[in-house]
Amino acid sequence: MMVKLNDKAYDHAKRLIEKGQVVLDDRDAWSEHQPSTADENAYLEKHGFEAYGRWYLGVDDEHGEETKGRYKFPYGDFEKVHRCGVLSAEVRAGQQKYTDIELAAAHLHGLLDSMRSEEP
């Protein structure tokens, strides 16, 4: 399996963070906040694979372009970047030795934490 950083998703996440489209939650919340299979399928049906892929920091080139299996390391709920999703992606990428994805997620994590520290 060859998983690499999805630059389009990374750029999309940075733009969403700049716009404040974020949920500044804790890592443990991802199991409750990540999209369900039904949510994924509904988003795919409405927006297609190109838009779907922007929500995943990793791309597995062993899977076809129009398959859900191609996309790894989700970071949001198809509307907002979730800090818990970014943290989960960062940890899992590190465990699996996907350094480019781990570093991208770490950068997003830093952006989110700087927003969190600015909260009253």
Q: Give pLDDT tens digits for 12-32.
A: 999 999 999 999 998 789 989
% pLDDT > 90, the chain: 89
DSSP single-letter state for residue 27: G
CA–CA dist 52, 105 (Å, integer): 18
| β-strand partners of 5 | 58
- Whether residue 89 contacts residue 105, with contact meaning beta carbons closer than 8 Å, is answered with yes
**Residue 78: left (phi > 0), alpha (psi -120 to 50), or beta?**
left
- Whether residue 73 contacts residue 89, with contact meaning beta carbons closer than 8 Å, is answered with yes
Rounded mean pLDDT, 1-10: 93
pLDDT at 108 over 70: yes
pLDDT of the residue at 28? 85
Beta carbons within 10 angstroms of residue 91's beta carbon: 14
pLDDT of the residue at 112? 96
CA–CA dist 85, 109 (Å, integer): 10
Question: In one letter, which amino acid is 48?
Answer: G
pLDDT of the residue at 27? 76
Rounded mean pLDDT, 71-89: 97
Q: Dump strand ranges (E) for 1-120.
A: 3-5, 22-23, 56-60, 71-74, 81-82
CA–CA dist 106, 48 (Å, integer): 28
pTM over 0.85: yes
